[in-house]
């Protein structure tokens, strides 16, 4: 029994690490379709990773050990987050080491490490990127917390497996507050993962970049790990959204073993396909905001989440 | 084997005599304070010999308090034959005081060890005076916590204020430091008067000033509220709660770094202790709106502190504002606990109080650590100005590594200790919908959002702090000569950093210690968890967290990834110049400055600041950019008060004409008046 649950855990981590670049590639493909460009291969992110792993690392003379350790720390935190989020099954041995609030903390750890590494070499762009990234971070966190507060009100838990099981139980009806929370979550997801309208993952236009500014000094295998961690982060956020709002297909306690797992993988792929298309559509339809419009954007996400909370509380009253 | 078997017997003997042992250790500090006078001008004797002994006494205090919390927990009292003839000093040890002594002892050990290596010849006052004030300060804090009557409490409280005042002004030849010390002294005394008045109300007409008598006094809600508000004002002034915070960002930077660490890490905690002692122990009733008041003040202080910390360009002022933030978080937890308690949700009250207590412990560790780090940086670079630092990780690797632990802890990141208490606090916020008051139900989630904003802002502030000091390129040429801290300093920093990590990965012990306190005060304690692997304060399916497995998991994944990358790819590194974007004339001055890092905050939260900016003209040959940021409360509240006091003093000084005849006339008129009054 224990061995099987550890096996499931291992499968989930492996799936997360393997699929994450695919998801990024899929979004890029959808965007290219929508923008009438030649469509890159679905395997492009993997090719890029292989190429980067093969290259030498060109590192600044004054880079410190912190700079060299950060790609590994980023990758480590993101893999661990992938192990905690129930993307395929809820009965995970690792799921209990962090509830969703601790998960936000884990993402924050990764963000702080990346920002510190960006400041390490001491170029103007790195520091600017770090400052902007931290700014987006402190604006997004309250909104995300309100979304989780809402989930707690509905199902009495902040642990993601309990949330999945709660929302899958036949007695639960879709609460109107969920819709507000879902929109808020989507907005936070876009901001936290350096997507349009806050940041543009494909830009190197110097004055507008955030994430790209921070990783400007990275190259070779370090850059490969940072990029992989970034796709894992997007994948993790997507899976967190699935667990919170569309948990169908995730294998719960007591469901059949191999069949349920296979079904869960298929459901995950289907959900990722739809989510990728939706993200690409949003990114195609919207323009990048000025950096000082970011507080308004994330303020709106926060207000939507609070609105959801109030809707729920008023219903109860 | 014999030794192993005698450990239980020893601990029970220690636990039974805990209060006596603690008082002995306080005497040891006082002796150390006086021993400096054997060789008053020898920094080697006072710092390198007496301070390490003081650190051992700190450790002993921590051990005794810890053993007491783990085993005894029965209150102990001793009446000392000191004080006035019919007013002896009462002392008492209960879990609440033991917890704060544990905080004092654990953090004090690190600070005293660091201080042993820190003080140099020719800095500030004479070594003997320094040792005297320092150890009297420690002893006074311990006596504040052990006092069991208002008389001893106030004596210890005032001794604490005065000794710390002398420590703050040890560089008294600098006018700014003198005025900072003066401001501190005024605020300390305004606070002390409020506390004294609060005790006056608490005795409830019995005119007995022992805490036992106050516990028995039954006050009307009006009197109880008066006592509570006076205590909140008095202890809030000491803790640095907004709007009584103005002295804190002035006095903390002025003091030598180990003293800043003691004041921020330990002295502010005595104020937390005081407010807990009065509101949870001495007052027999609580009203729900007290909790709301503390909650609102705490959250506002927390946000205020974080926002102001983000715009500072002096590293010690930044940390001082960050202390205001953390004190705000502690007050938030206490306030929430009162709200829960008055709505009969005792378990959640215990959870919120646990969060506040654990945060007090954590803050003692990481804030002391960071203040001591600024001390090392100050000695190495002679500047506190963030604009003149940078790149120190390459010249001070030890300090930088230990500072990173403190930075990650204070930023509230898992798996370090700051996260544990913030997580507990957020968890307790989650249960507010169970309060049977729809008004509070609506408002308190917004409090949770403010808490999240504060925590994330703290991360922003700390990235600025660490990044500008230790990372990047040196902003001044002579920073390359910066030297690392000496071994005593490293030992002290290492002790505190170790504490940050251990409380982070094994929070069960800290939560257990806080549980002894909540059990004593509220008859409820949260369970640290079903196993020792994770904490699940209410129920494991609701929320759980394990710092240990989290850390182990990250380390394991990082290790495996590193090995795999080395095997499957390669480990080649080519050192080059940084990417200059095609513009080779870049200087270290072009890095983001502390002011630049604060710019988004100034932009977003401009209602909080009074800001004066001078931008250079476009054709200015020697451009200077100047920005001055001022606290609105300073201008709006304190300046008018200072002005009216000045005005009043001017009016009264008319009486003081300097002529003897006039003074005789005053005496005559007074006598006449008295005669009329009597007849």
Q: What is the pLDDT of residues A279-293, one digit of tens each?
A: 999 999 988 888 888
With CA atoms as reference, report the closest residue to B574 among A70, A220, A89, A30.
A220
Q: How far is A235 from chain B (nearest CA, A)?
A: 18
CB count within 10 Å of CB B387 equals 16
d(CA B296, CA B451): 11
d(CA A279, CA A28): 10
Q: How far is A267 from chain B (nearest CA, A)?
A: 25
B292 touching A (Cβ < 8 Å): no
Mean local confidence (pLDDT), B175-199: 94
B439 touching A (Cβ < 8 Å): no
Interface test with B, best of A117, A122, A161, A303 (most B CBs within 10 A): A122
d(CA B121, CA B140): 26
Q: Judged by CB atoms within 8 Å, which residues 525-544 of B form the interface with A?
A: 534, 536, 540-544
Task: Measure Cα distances from B620 to B410, B615, B668 in Å.
Answer: 42, 10, 69
* Structure tokens given for B141: 């804090």
d(CA B666, CA B261): 51
* Structure tokens given for B668: 């005559």
Strand-pairing partners, residue B76, are B93
Cβ neighbours for B539, distance < 8 A, ≥ 6 positions apart: none
B436 touching A (Cβ < 8 Å): no
Which residue in A112, A122, A159 is closest to B390 by CB distance?
A122
Beta strands in A128-267 (DSSP E): none
With CA atoms as reference, report the closest residue to B413 among A191, A226, A137, A229.
A137
- pLDDT of the residue at B291: 93
Contact across the interface for B558 and A76, Cβ inside 8 Å? yes
Contacts of A116 in chain B (CB under 8 A): 463, 466-467, 471
Contacts of A313 in chain B (CB under 8 A): 433, 438, 441-442
Contact across the interface for B578 and A122, Cβ inside 8 Å? yes
Cβ(B135)–Cβ(B32) below 8 Å: yes
Using the predicted structure, report yes or no on whether residue B1 has a pLDDT greater than 50: no
Interstrand relation of B609-614 and A57-60 (parallel, antiparallel or unpaired): unpaired
A44 touching B (Cβ < 8 Å): no
How large is the angle between the packed helices B18-35 and B127-146, nearest 10 degrees? 160
Cβ(B419)–Cβ(B366) below 8 Å: no
Q: How far is B290 from chain A (nearest CA, A)?
A: 24
Contact across the interface for A130 and B463, Cβ inside 8 Å? yes
d(CA B353, CA B372): 28
Q: What is the pLDDT of residues B328-351, one digit of tens each?
A: 999 999 999 999 999 999 999 999
Q: What is the pLDDT of residues A41-95, one digit of tens each?
A: 999 999 999 999 999 999 999 999 999 999 999 999 999 999 999 988 888 888 8
Most confident of A127-131, A312-316, B37-41, B55-59: B55-59
Cβ(B199)–Cβ(B260) below 8 Å: no
Instruction: Identify the closest residue of chain A to B425 by CA–CA distance.
Output: A101
d(CA B547, CA B550): 5
Mean local confidence (pLDDT), B246-263: 92
User: How many domains is chain A partitioned into structurally?
Assistant: 1
With CA atoms as reference, report the closest residue to B461 among B608, B299, B321, B328.
B321
For the entire predicted model, the pTM comes to: 0.94
A225 touching B (Cβ < 8 Å): yes
Rg (CA), chain A: 19
B563 touching A (Cβ < 8 Å): no
d(CA A93, CA A91): 7
Which residue in B463, B572, B600 is closest to A115 by CB distance?
B463
Contacts of B592 in chain A (CB under 8 A): 119, 124, 127-128, 130-131
B653 touching A (Cβ < 8 Å): no
Which residue in A53, A73, A157 is closest to B543 by CB distance?
A157
B443 touching A (Cβ < 8 Å): no
d(CA B182, CA B185): 5
Contact across the interface for A80 and B455, Cβ inside 8 Å? no
DSSP 3-state of A59: strand
Strand-pairing partners, residue B574, are A58
Report phi then psi at A78, rounded to 5.
Answer: -70, -40
Cα distance between the two ends of chain B? 86
Instruction: Identify the closest residue of chain B to A306 by CA–CA distance.
Output: B446
Which residue in B442, B445, B586 is closest to A149 by CB distance?
B445
- pLDDT of the residue at A205: 72
Mean local confidence (pLDDT), B140-166: 95
Contacts of A139 in chain B (CB under 8 A): 456
């505190």: which residue's tokens? B496
* Structure tokens given for B448: 């949770």
- pLDDT of the residue at A289: 87
Which residue in A54, A97, A220 is closest to B546 by CB distance?
A97
Share of chain B above pLDDT 70, in %: 98
Contacts of B570 in chain A (CB under 8 A): 54, 56, 221
Cβ(A243)–Cβ(A164) below 8 Å: yes
Q: How far is B560 from chain A (nearest CA, A)?
A: 9
d(CA B289, CA A56): 64
- pLDDT of the residue at A167: 77
With CA atoms as reference, report the closest residue to A139 among A100, A184, A173, A172.
A184
B564 touching A (Cβ < 8 Å): no
With CA atoms as reference, report the closest residue to B472 among A34, A291, A268, A118.
A118
The DSSP element (H or E) to which B177 belongs, if any, is helix B175-202
B393 touching A (Cβ < 8 Å): yes
Q: What is the pLDDT of residues B129-143, one digit of tens each?
A: 999 999 999 999 999
B453 touching A (Cβ < 8 Å): yes
DSSP 3-state of B611: strand
DSSP string spanning B76-142? EEEEEEEEETTEEEEEEE-HHHHHHHHHHHHHHHHHHHHHHHH--TTSSS-HHHHHHHHHHHHHHHH
Cβ(B536)–Cβ(B529) below 8 Å: yes
A302 touching B (Cβ < 8 Å): yes
Q: How far is A304 from chain B (nearest CA, A)?
A: 13
Q: Judged by CB atoms within 8 Å, which residues 7-46 of B form the interface with A?
A: none
Mean local confidence (pLDDT), B507-513: 90
Contacts of B423 in chain A (CB under 8 A): 101-102, 105
Task: Measure Cα distances from A184 to A174, A179, B617 in Å.
Answer: 17, 9, 44
With CA atoms as reference, report the closest residue to B560 among A10, A107, A174, A274.
A10
Q: How far is A305 from chain B (nearest CA, A)?
A: 11
Q: What is the pLDDT of residues B515-560, one digit of tens each?
A: 999 999 998 888 766 566 778 777 777 788 888 999 999 999 999 9
Give residue A123's domain range.
Answer: 2-316
Report phi then psi at A89, rounded to 5.
Answer: -130, 155
Q: What is the pLDDT of residues B561-608, one digit of tens each?
A: 999 999 998 888 999 988 877 888 888 888 888 888 888 888 888 888
Cβ(B353)–Cβ(B272) below 8 Å: no
- pLDDT of the residue at A168: 75
Instruction: Identify the closest residue of chain A to B599 by CA–CA distance.
Output: A131
d(CA B544, CA B532): 12
Contact across the interface for A125 and B581, Cβ inside 8 Å? yes
- pLDDT of the residue at B454: 93
DSSP 3-state of B25: helix
Contacts of B555 in chain A (CB under 8 A): 76
Mean local confidence (pLDDT), B159-165: 95
Contacts of B549 in chain A (CB under 8 A): 94, 97
Interface test with B, best of A84, A116, A206, A298 (most B CBs within 10 A): A116
Contact across the interface for B453 and A156, Cβ inside 8 Å? no
With CA atoms as reference, report the closest residue to A136 among B414, B456, B409.
B456
Which residue in A98, A292, A306 is closest to B545 by CB distance?
A98
Q: Judged by CB atoms within 8 Å, which residues 102-131 of A form the interface with B?
A: 102, 105-106, 108-109, 111-112, 115-116, 119-125, 127-128, 130-131
d(CA B531, CA B263): 37
d(CA B535, CA B420): 10
Cβ(B219)–Cβ(B202) below 8 Å: yes
Contacts of B427 in chain A (CB under 8 A): 101, 158
Positions in chain A whose pLDDT score sits under 70: 1, 170-173, 206, 253-257, 316-317
Q: What value of ipTM does the predicted structure carry?
A: 0.94
Cβ neighbours for B29, distance < 8 A, ≥ 6 positions apart: B54, B57, B135, B136, B138, B139, B142
Using the predicted structure, report yes or no on whether residue B437 has a pLDDT greater than 70: yes
Q: What is the pLDDT of residues B269-319, one digit of tens each?
A: 999 999 999 999 999 888 999 999 999 999 999 999 999 999 998 999 999
With CA atoms as reference, report the closest residue to B330 among B277, B268, B372.
B268
- pLDDT of the residue at B626: 81
With CA atoms as reference, report the closest residue to B153 among B187, B216, B203.
B203
Cβ(B462)–Cβ(B416) below 8 Å: no
Instruction: Identify the closest residue of chain A to B536 by CA–CA distance.
Output: A96
Region class of B82: left (phi > 0), else alpha (psi between -120 and 50), else beta: beta
d(CA A247, CA A241): 9
Contacts of B550 in chain A (CB under 8 A): 80, 97-98, 102, 106
Instruction: Identify the closest residue of chain B to A53 by CA–CA distance.
Output: B569
Q: Number of CB pairs < 8 Å for A and B?
A: 242
């Amino acid at each position: 029994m224990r061995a099987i649950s550890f096996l499931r855990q291992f499968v989930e981590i492996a799936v997360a690490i393997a699929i994450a670049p695919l998801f990024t590639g899929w979004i890029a493909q959808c965007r290219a379709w929508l923008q009438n460009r030649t469509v890159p291969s679905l395997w492009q992110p993997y090719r890029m990773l292989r190429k980067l792993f093969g290259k030498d690392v060109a590192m600044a003379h004054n880079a410190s050990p912190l700079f060299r350790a950060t790609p590994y720390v980023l990758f480590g935190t993101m893999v661990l987050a992938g192990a905690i989020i129930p993307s395929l099954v809820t009965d995970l041995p690792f799921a209990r080491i962090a509830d969703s609030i601790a998960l936000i903390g884990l993402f924050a750890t990764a963000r702080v490490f990346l920002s510190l590494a960006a400041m390490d070499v001491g170029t103007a762009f790195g520091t600017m990127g770090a400052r902007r990234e931290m700014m987006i971070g402190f604006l997004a966190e309250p909104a995300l917390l309100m979304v989780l507060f809402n989930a707690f009100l509905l199902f009495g838990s902040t642990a993601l497996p309990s949330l999945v099981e709660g929302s899958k139980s036949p007695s639960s009806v879709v609460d109107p507050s969920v819709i507000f929370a879902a929109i808020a979550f989507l907005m936070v997801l876009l901001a936290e993962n350096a997507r349009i309208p806050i940041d543009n993952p494909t830009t190197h236009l110097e004055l507008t970049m955030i994430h790209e500014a921070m990783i400007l000094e990275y190259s070779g295998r370090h850059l490969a790990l940072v990029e992989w961690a970034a796709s894992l982060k997007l994948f993790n956020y997507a899976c967190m959204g699935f667990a919170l709002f569309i948990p169908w297909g995730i294998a719960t306690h007591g469901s059949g073993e191999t069949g349920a797992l296979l079904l869960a993988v298929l459901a995950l792929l289907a959900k990722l396909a739809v989510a990728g298309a939706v993200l690409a559509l949003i990114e195609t339809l919207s323009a990048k905001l000025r950096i000082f419009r970011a507080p308004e954007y994330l303020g709106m996400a926060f207000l939507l989440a609070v609105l959801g909370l109030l809707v729920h509380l008023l219903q109860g009253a | 084997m014999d030794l192993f078997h005698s450990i239980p017997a020893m601990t029970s003997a220690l636990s039974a005599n805990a209060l006596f042992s603690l008082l002995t250790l306080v005497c040891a500090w006082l002796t150390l304070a006086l021993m400096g006078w054997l060789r008053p001008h020898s920094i080697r004797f006072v710092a390198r010999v007496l301070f390490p002994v003081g650190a051992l006494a700190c450790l002993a205090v921590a051990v005794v308090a810890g053993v007491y919390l783990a085993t005894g927990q029965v209150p102990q009292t001793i009446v000392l034959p000191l004080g006035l003839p019919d007013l002896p000093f009462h002392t008492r040890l209960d879990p609440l005081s033991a917890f704060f002594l544990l905080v004092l002892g654990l953090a004090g050990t690190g600070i005293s060890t660091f201080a042993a290596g820190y003080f140099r010849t020719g800095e500030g006052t004479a070594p003997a005076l320094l040792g005297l004030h320092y150890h009297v300060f420690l002893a006074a804090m311990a006596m504040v916590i052990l006092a069991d009557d208002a008389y001893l409490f106030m004596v210890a409280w005032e001794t604490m204020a005065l000794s710390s005042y002398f420590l703050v002004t040890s560089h008294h030849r600098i006018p700014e430091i003198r005025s900072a010390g003066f401001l501190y002294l005024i605020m300390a005394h305004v606070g002390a008067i409020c506390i004294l008045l609060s005790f006056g109300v608490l005795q409830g007409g019995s005119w007995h000033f022992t805490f036992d008598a106050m516990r028995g006094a039954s006050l009307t809600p009006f009197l109880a509220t008066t006592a509570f508000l006076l205590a909140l004002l008095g202890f809030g002034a000491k803790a640095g709660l907004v709007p009584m915070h103005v002295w804190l960002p002035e006095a903390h930077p002025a003091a030598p770094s180990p003293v800043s660490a003691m004041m921020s890490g330990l002295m502010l905690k005595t104020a937390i202790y005081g407010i807990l002692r009065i509101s949870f122990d001495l007052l027999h009733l609580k009203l729900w709106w007290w909790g709301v008041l503390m909650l609102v003040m705490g959250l506002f202080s927390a946000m205020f502190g974080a926002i102001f910390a983000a715009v500072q360009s002096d590293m010690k002022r930044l940390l001082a504002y960050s202390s205001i933030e953390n004190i705000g978080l502690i007050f938030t937890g206490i306030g929430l606990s009162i709200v829960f308690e008055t709505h009969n949700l005792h378990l959640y009250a215990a959870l919120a109080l646990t969060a506040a207590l654990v945060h007090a412990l954590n803050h003692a560790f990481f804030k002391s650590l960071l203040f001591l780090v600024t001390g090392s940086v100050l000695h190495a670079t002679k500047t506190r100005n963030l604009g003149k630092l940078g790149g120190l990780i390459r010249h001070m690797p030890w300090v930088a590594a230990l500072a990173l632990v403190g930075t990650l802890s204070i930023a509230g990141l898992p798996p370090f200790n700051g996260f544990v208490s913030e997580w507990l606090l957020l968890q307790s916020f989650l249960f507010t919908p169970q309060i049977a008051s729809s008004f509070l139900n609506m408002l308190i989630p917004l409090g949770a959002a403010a808490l999240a904003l504060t925590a994330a802002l703290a991360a922003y502030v700390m990235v600025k702090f660490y990044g500008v000091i230790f990372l990047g390129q040196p902003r001044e040429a002579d920073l390359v000569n910066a030297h690392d801290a000496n071994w005593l300093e490293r030992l002290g920093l290492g002790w505190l950093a170790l504490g940050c990590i251990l409380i982070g990965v094994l929070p069960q012990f800290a939560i257990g210690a806080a549980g002894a306190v909540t059990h004593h005060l509220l008859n409820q304690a949260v369970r640290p968890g079903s196993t020792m692997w994770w904490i699940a304060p209410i129920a494991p399916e609701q929320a759980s967290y394990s710092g240990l497995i989290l850390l182990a998991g990250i380390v394991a994944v990082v290790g495996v990834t590193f090995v795999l990358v080395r095997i499957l790819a390669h480990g080649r590194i080519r050192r080059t110049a940084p990417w200059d974007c095609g513009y080779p004339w870049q200087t270290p001055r072009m890095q983001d400055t502390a002011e630049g890092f604060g710019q988004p905050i100034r932009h977003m939260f401009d209602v909080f600041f009074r800001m004066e900016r001078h931008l250079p003209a476009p054709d200015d040959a020697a451009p200077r950019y100047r920005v001055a940021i001022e606290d609105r409360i300073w201008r709006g509240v304190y300046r008018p008060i200072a002005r009216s006091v000045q005005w009043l003093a001017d009016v009264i000084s008319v009486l003081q004409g300097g002529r003897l005849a006039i003074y005789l006339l005053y005496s005559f008129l007074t006598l006449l008046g008295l005669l009329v009054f009597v007849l």
